Amino acid sequence: MKIAIAQINPAIGDFEGNIALISDRAEEARCRGCELAVFPEMAICGYPPRDLLERNDFVQACFEAEKGLVSAVGGIGVLCGTITPAAGDGCGARLHNSALLFKDGHELGRVHKRLLPVYDVFDETRYFVPGGPAAPVEFNGHRLGITICEDMWSGIEECAALPFYRENPVAELAGQGVDLMLNISASPFALGKAEARICVLQQHARRMRLPFLYCNAVGGQDSLIFDGSSLAVDKRGDVACRASSFREDLVVLDVNLPEGEVSSEERRSWPECRAEAVCNALELGLADYTRRCGLHTVAIGLSGGVDSAVTAAISCRALGPEKVLGVIMPSPYTSAESIEDAEALAENLHIKFITLPIGDIFSSYLNVLAPVFEGRPPNVAEENIQARIRGNLLMAISNKLGHMVLSTGNKSELAVGYCTLYGDMSGGYALMSDLPKTLVYEVARWLNRTGEIIPSRVLAKPPSAELRPGQTDQDDLPPYEVIDPILEFYLEKSLSPSEIVQRGFDRDTVFKIISMVDRNEYKRKQAPPGPKVTSKAFGMGRRYPIAHRYRPWVHV
C-alpha cells in the first residue's frame, strides 16, 4: 500500500485555506498512486488555537469545515486531525482532540487523543477530554493503530525525560492486533526533539515488530515552531523515509503489510548541526509570524554587536534582504568600531540601513529631567533612557513605514535582566529570545561558515551594551560561558540553587545569577513572543509569579 505523509502548515482559524491545503495534497497523493494520505494533528483548525476553542463559533466553523473536507476529497483515504464534541468530563473541557479517517465521503474511523499534555507550553485539559481505550481501525483490509502526538510518548523511558503516564496507547493498540502504527502530531521543535522522536518510534517498532509512520505539522505559530521532520520506520525500527524539516513536504512510502516492510525513495536531509537547526527554526518562525500578522518587512536596530547581527542575518534568510531595514543609532558612548561593524554587516547582507544619532534627543531628556536628576549620581537611569530612545525611534519607523520591529536580545540577557524594558526589548517578535548568548555565537559562526557575513570583529570583541563609557557586559556579569550552564540547570532542569552549586559551580556566582533571574520576572512578562528552541523557553511554558517571596539562596 502506498501512503503519503503530507506535512502541511495549516494556519490557526483559516478553515478555507486549511481545507484547500488538505484537499490539494490528498489529490496530489492520489495522483502519485497512494491509497492513504496522512495529515497532522488538528490540521483542519490549526494548532494551537488556545482559547479560540472556547468560542462556539470557532468550534462550529471547524465542524463545518470538516464536513466540507469529507465531501470534497475522493479516491483516496485521508487521515487528519480535527476536533469532536465530547461529553463534559468535569473540567469545563468539552472537545476531543481527534484523528479522523475517511474516504469518498464516508467516515471510517475516529480516534480521540488519550494522553493530554499539561506541562510546559501545553494546556490540553483546558480544552479536551481524554479519549478512552481505542480499537484499531480497518482500512483497505489492514488494521491501523492510530494515535495522536502525546499518545506515543509513553512507556519509552529510554528516549527522553517525560512525564510518567499510566496508560500506553501504542502498546494497548498493538495488543489488539495491528498491521501499521500511525501517529499524527503537532509537536513543537526544541533542540534534540527530532532525535527523541526517532528514538520513540524505533523503540515502539522494535518492541512490537511493527512499522510506525509519523506525520508532524510544520510552521510557526507565535512562539511555537513546528518542525515537521515526519518519518517512518519499518518493523525493525530502521528509518525508511524522512520528510523535510522546517518546510512543507509530501513524501510517499510503500508499506508492505502485514510483513511490516517500508520502502521509500524519499529521505530528505535534516540539519547537520544544532546551529543549522536553530537557524532554520528561527527563519520559519519569523516568516510565518510576519506573514500571519500581515506585515512583510522588518526593522532591526544594528548595534555592531553579535545579537543584532545574527537577527539581521536570519531575517535576510527568512524574508529576503529587500524586506529588512537596518537602523544604526549611535550615542556618545558608541565606539567608531561598532558603527563600522554595523555598516559592514549591512553591506554584507545587502540590506538598506539608516543612521539616526541619538545624542541630541538624549540631551533633551537630560535637560527636562535635570530637576529630578540633580544631585544624584549617574546610574542605570541614564543608560535606560538611551535604550528607550532607540526603542522609540524603531517604533516610530514601524508606525510610519509599516515594518515590524525585531528585538534582538538573547536568552541569557533576558534571564538576568540585562536588557531594557521598552528599550532594546521593544518589538513585535524577539527572534533570539530563547538562544543563550553562547548559542548566539555558535549560530553566528555557522552563518559565517562559507564566508564572512557577520564581520569577524563582531565575534572577537567583548560584548557591550555601550550605554556608558568603556562598558562591557563582563563589568556587570560573569562570563557567558559561566552564566549559560547555570541558567540551563536552573531554567531547563528546574534545579535548586544548592543543587547547582553541587554540580561544581561557585556558590556566590550561582546565587547572584539566580537572584537576578528571579528579580527580573517582571521584565520577561512584558517581552514580545519569540521562537522557542530550547526545552524551556520564557513565556507560556514557564509560569512564575512575579511578586513571590521565595528566596532559596538566603538559607543555603
Residues with a catalytic annotation lie at 41, 113, 149
Which residue lies nearer to its own copies by CB, 106 or 549?
549
Which residue lies nearer to its own copies by CB, 219 or 260?
219
C-alpha distance from residue 158 to each of 164, 182, 316 (Å): 12, 20, 39
Q: Tell me which residue has cell 548559542.
A: 439
β-strand 239-242 against 429-430: which pairing, if any? unpaired
The whole-angstrom separation of Cα 92 and Cα 218 is: 30
Find out whether 243 and 266 touch, Cβ atoms under 8 Å.
yes
H helix count then E strand count, the chain: 17, 20
Which residue lies nearer to its own copies by CB, 273 or 293?
293
- Letter for the amino acid at 30? R
Exposed e or buried b per residue across 480-501, where buried means at least 16 C-beta atoms within 10 angstroms of its C-beta: beebbbbbbbbbeeebebeebb
Minimum Å distance from CB 256 to its own copies?
35
Whose CA is closest to 305, among 177, 154, 183, 462?
462
Which residue lies nearer to its own copies by CB, 48 or 211?
48
Find out whether 26 and 76 touch, Cβ atoms under 8 Å.
yes
Minimum Å distance from CB 44 to its own copies?
13
Which residue lies nearer to its own copies by CB, 273 or 369?
369
Which residue lies nearer to its own copies by CB, 156 or 447?
156
Beta-carbon-side half-sphere exposure of residue 163 (alpha carbons within 13 Å): 12
Minimum Å distance from CB 26 to its own copies?
21
Minimum Å distance from CB 297 to its own copies?
14
Minimum Å distance from CB 179 to its own copies?
28
The whole-angstrom separation of Cα 140 and Cα 523 is: 56
Find out whether 59 and 13 touch, Cβ atoms under 8 Å.
no
Rg, Å, the chain Cα set: 25
Q: Helices 359-373 and 380-401, interaxial angle, to 10°?
A: 130
Which residue lies nearer to its own copies by CB, 235 or 403?
403
Strand intervals (E) in 274-422: 298-301, 324-328, 352-355, 404-407
Minimum Å distance from CB 468 to its own copies?
13
Minimum Å distance from CB 408 to its own copies?
16
3-state secondary structure of 510: helix
3-state secondary structure of 272: coil
The whole-angstrom separation of Cα 196 and Cα 210 is: 19
